[in-house]
Structure 1
Amino acid sequence: MDPRTSAQDVMRCDLCETAIVQMHCDTCLVNLCKACVGDHISDESKDHKVVKFQSRKSTLLHPPCTLHDNKRCEMFCEQCNIPICSACIVSKNHSGHNILEIIEIYNTKKMEIESKNEEMRKSIYPTYQDIASDVEKRISQLDKGYEGILTAITNHGEEWHRQIDKLVKKLKEKVDKMKIRHNSALEKHRAEINQRISDIDDEIRKLAKLLESNDISLFTHHENTITKFRKLLPKVDASFPVFTPMKFQEEQFHKLFGKLSTLSLTSEENGYNSKLKQISPEAGSSPPVKKLLNEPETDTTIDTKFGYLYNVACLSDEQIWTAGNNSSMKLFSINEGTLLQTINTESWRSPDAIAVTKIGELVYSDEYEASVNIVKNRKIETVIQLQNSKPKGVCITSSGDLLDIICSIGYNSKVVRYSGLTEKQIIQWDDEGQPLYSYSSGSKYISENKNLDICVSDWNATAVIVVNHAEKLRFRYTGNTSAQNQRKFSPYGITTDSQSHILTADYDNNCVHIIDQDGQFISYIYCGLSQPIGVCIDKNDNLFVALRGNSKVKKIKYLH
């Protein structure tokens, strides 16, 4: 085997190509053996820096001057932004300029490049790997997602077939009953006609016999019966029922059968920025750490005077929106406890959930109208209209998107993310294809955590279900199993604070659970709560709890 072409061969001198490399010229970036060093440095046009091979590239190579031959630039002119040599300085072309040693520029640039390399390796590259994994996951879920749509269409079609078959059967049974009645009437009429024919036949025989007789008394006592026969029996008839099929109108039929939304493909310029911010070293500082108070304390209590209170949402540090068991949504002053404004839903039914946008507009879901609506200048606009589905909990994300829990008739619930009117994301299944949320349309509330996790309290599932921004299930919290004398966990309202704590109202146990962002139980908040149902947090981490039992809102301090 030729040692020069063998994959296991050692490095050879770049000049003689036979001897083993021992030296290296940092100026020319050439590998040399000791015997060839003399020949290499004989070229005096360059300032050769020959070092041991193990120490290659240890000598900084200063750039050659573009104006002066055989000169290396050891300085740097900040005004001209170019490397310069000693001859350039003597020439006074850079007189009065700020001159730095080029090694300073090198060290500064090297630190910048090292920082960029660190960010590329530890932040940007892993982010793109996560994005690629996310795209792969979404591609892998295409079949399942579209299979669900096809199954829904098929099931709906089969249901229509069943209803049509049922209707056809009912109409046929009705026709059969009509036929029986029709036939019975004609049979009875036929019997009457046959009886009359038989009577006439008897009368004809009697008259013929009389005509053969010469007994005058028979003729004188003969009764005239022909009048009875001259009066014909009434005609019994019935017209056949007529089936009038409705004219088939394809457009109207499509509207009745169901609507398939269009495929919305969008390319969002900053769609992945939130992923990068989570791990980027330049993402900004974390919020200050706040510790829990030893004993949470009630700061304010507001009487909303609803029959039953269900929801609360913070508008500001001074005002909160509330909603209960009627159509009104009431805005209260927190400090004064006074009613400031009342808005009624368009359906005049109780809203299922309320939230406030980043610019202070009230949003509410209406199960009766199957819609999500926004209040702008006291006027209500429908932003989402659903078909065969019911909106439940709603929340506004840190990016301004709207998250809505949707319960479809006959199907598992799902979380849908909207940007304006555009449906951006659907969260419904875990990695094993199992539903994340319960089938029933019972109470469900939703909130986004500071780490962009999506948190849903599912009363029917007796659990808080948390998924990350990429739809991956992080954990299910089913209550504090170590607690004594506790009733079954009964989660309703849910919210999060600046520490990424998750807080959920436990209706049956008259308390609020605090858990960390990884689903670990931290503490309870009691504070004399009676049937807590709705919760929200203001920007100062004050907790507001809507109490169904007495229709009051409690403002609670629980963090230092």
Structure 2
Amino acid sequence: MYPQNIDRKILHQISVLERQGALNYPKCKTHSEELCTLYCRQCSVPICSVCSYRDHRHQHVIHIFEHLSKMKDCIRTDLQELKYSIYPRYERVAPTVQKANVRKNSEKLSANLKKQREALHKEIDDIFQEMQNKIENMDSKSIAFIDEQESDINHSTAKIEQRISHLTEVLDSNDFDLVFAYKSRNEEFKRMPAPYQVTLPTFTPQMINRKKIYQQFGSLSELCTSREEYEDETKSLDAISLSPVREELMHKPRLISEIQTDYGNQCQLIGISCLHDSELWTCGTDHTIRLYNFEGGLVNRVQILYDSLAGNIAVTLCGELVYTNSFLRCINIVKNAKTLTLVRLLDWMPLFLCSSSSGDILVTMINDIGEAKVVRYSGSTEKQNIQWDDQGQPLYSSGDKKDISENTNLDICVADLEAHAVVVVSSAGKLRFRYTGQSSSSTTPPSASTVQSFRPYCIATDSRGRILTADHIMHCIHITDQNGHFLRFIEICGVYYPRALCVDSRDNLYSFNCMARSKIKKIAYDV
């Protein structure tokens, strides 16, 4: 049976194929003894002649071979597109993602890394040899000096021995001429040779700072991946891409220890800064800056003058304590147990400060009309002023909470509380990015499902160039890479309303609980 609207050309093809037995019609699923020679376009199913009379309208019924021909036309079109359009484009894309290229680049990076390691080893060996040569030279000079002094003393001793022998002979003699000719030379021998003293040299090793070594060694850029779209007339094709890479961090930070201090309800802890990996400076509301070891022992203290408070503290590359005095609008440094005024300001109030890898000091400050800036000082000399972006707009808000830290790539990172942002500029003062918080269901601390209003109260950077920002309201730390890409949140091991952060050379984190300010927590967060 054939539909009335069948094309004569198709009818001829069907007749030829049927005579050749080349058409294998499917069996009807409803009428098992019938073959499906028809196709219903409305229902998109093969049907038999019985089905066409009972359940399907004739205007929608065509011969099944006609539908087969149309389907083959579609398949033929898709085949042509796959063979001559899509497949060649995959071939063009494939070389850009070959593993060999990735491995070749990794080998190149490793070779450059090894070369830099050898260069640093050579510098260290050269410095060692230079100091060793200096020690040997000083040793030779000291021995020569001592030998010279010893020779002078031996010469004088020999003369005294001769004199003693002569005087003994005179005493034993009754020779008038010999006795009467005697003249005392004791005054000559009383004049002892000038006393000699050798001040032996000493070696004072500097604390090895891992973060500074990273800066000296160099930086390794982050793996940046993207999916580039290839457009054609009908559809787009995504190029194959590598998966994004996240920094390896502990799934859950670990509390290493707690440092008990003398602070409490009467005197509250407000700031901390690592001197080295076994001691840290603290400042509070009692006009005293204290140095504690990690057992909680008080090592040193510095009294703040003029009955005012230390606004913020930091430690220079030389291990000297610096602090801001917002009340007197000055920046002080403690050298040899003496407090000296490094910078005195008139129209600006210093807030937070940090030491840079170059030995400079970076200071955030505000004035009475609501302007804010970052100033770089070399000693007492202002070297750089960072206040405006390229469009002449202020980089920072007018708020007085602006913690600051320099990253390993020399970026200057400011936690601007009032702006709800971490503002990062290059060492030249050019705006790189603003980080305004990140929400992630997979990494949100259990205490909160999302980050609502980002409140960056304090900031630190570690030896790998990661930026750690404490959220004062959400009781968590945001960790980003040096380009502002969010890595994850971490809880601060029971620290609520964090008021300060610092990181030692081994990337251990220090913070304290605003609700219980007598204890400083040492936390491991890195793998």
TM-score of the superposed pair, with normalisation by structure 1: 0.48
- Gap runs ≥5 in structure 1: 1-114, 116-276
Aligned length: 280
> Is 2:471 the partner of 1:511?
no
In structure 2, the residue matched to 1:528 is 494
What's the counterpart of residue 299 of structure 1? 256
Contact 2:214 2:408 in 1 (8 A): no
Q: In the alignment, which residue of structure 2 is the partner of 1:403?
A: 362
Q: How does 1:354-503 map to 2 (within 5 A)?
A: 354-440=313-399, 442-482=400-440, 484-503=449-468
CA distance in 2, matches of 1:348, 1:497: 35
Q: Report matched runs for 1:238-387 at 5 Å.
A: 284=217, 286=219, 291-306=248-263, 307-334=267-294, 336-387=295-346
Distance 2:458 2:381 in 1: 26
Query: SS of the counterpart of 1:323?
Result: strand
- What residue is the counterpart of 1:553 in the other structure? 520
- Per the TM alignment, residue 351 of structure 1 is displaced from its structure 2 partner at its CA by 1.1
Moved more, 480-489 or 447-456: 480-489
For 1:439, give the aligned amino acid: S
1:322 is aligned with what amino acid?
Answer: T
Choose 1 or 2 for highest CA Rg. 1
Is this contact kept in 1: 2:496–2:513, CA < 8 A? Answer: yes
The answer as to whether partners of 2:269 and 2:284 remain within 8 angstroms in 1 is: yes
CA distance in 1, matches of 2:333, 2:293: 21
For residues 219-245 of structure 1, give each alpha carbon's deviation from its aligned partner in whole angstroms, at most 9, with x where no partner exists.
xxxxxxxxxxxxxxxxxxxxxxxxxxx
Map 1:14-25; keep pairs closer than 5 Å.
Answer: none
Cα gap change, 1:518 to 1:337, in 2 (>3 Å):
same
Aligned-residue sequence identity (percent) comes to 44
The question of whether the paired residues in 2 share the 8 Å contact of 1:312 and 1:535 is answered with yes
1:68 matched residue in structure 2: none
- 1:524 is displaced (CA, Å) by 1.8
Paired position in structure 2 for 1:259: none
CA apart distance, 1:414: 0.4
In the alignment, is the contact (CA less than 8 A) between 1:457 and 1:465 conserved in 2?
A: yes
- 8 Å CA contact 2:273, 2:502 repeated in 1: yes
Gaps of 5+ in 2: 1-111, 113-212, 223-246
- Pairwise CA distance, 1:310: 1.5
Q: Contact 1:322 / 1:330 at 8 angstroms: preserved in 2?
A: yes
Higher normalized contact order (CA 8 Å, seq sep 6+, divided by chain length): 2
Which amino acid letter does the alignment assign opposite residue 347 of structure 1? Y
Secondary structure of the structure 2 residue equivalent to 1:315? strand
Deviation string, structure 1 residues 152-195 (Cα, Å, up to 9, x no partner): xxxxxxxxxxxxxxxxxxxxxxxxxxxxxxxxxxxxxxxxxxxx
The whole-number CA distance in structure 2 between the counterparts of 1:381 and 1:404 is: 17
Cα pair distance change 1:350/1:487, threshold 3 Å: farther
Residues 465-504 of structure 1, C-alpha deviations (whole Å, 9 max, x = no match): 0000121111111111445343421111211011100011
Q: Is the 8 A contact 2:494 2:513 kept in 1?
A: no
Paired with 2:465 and 2:516, the residues of 1 have a C-alpha distance of 30
The offset of 1:330, in angstroms, is: 1.2
- Looking at structure 2, the residues matched to 338 and 499 of structure 1 have their Cα atoms a distance apart, in angstroms, of 31
Alignment of 1:71-220 (within 5 A): none
**What is the Cα-based RMSD across aligned positions, in Å?**
2.4
Letter in 2 for 1:555: K
Length-normalised TM-score, structure 2: 0.51
* Alpha-carbon distance, 1:525 to partner: 2.2
The question of whether the paired residues in 2 share the 8 Å contact of 1:356 and 1:362 is answered with: yes
Displacement after TM superposition at 1:538 (Å): 0.7
For residues 321-365 of structure 1, the C-alpha deviation after alignment (integer angstroms, 9 at most, x for no partner) is: 11122211111111x122222212113222111000111111100
State the secondary structure of the residue aligned to 2:474: coil
Task: Work out whether residues 401 and 418 of structure 2, in 8 Å CA contact, stay in contact via their aligned partners in 1.
Answer: yes
Determine helix, strand or coil for the equivalent of 1:347: helix
Q: How far apart are the structure 1 equivalents of 2:496 and 2:214?
A: 38
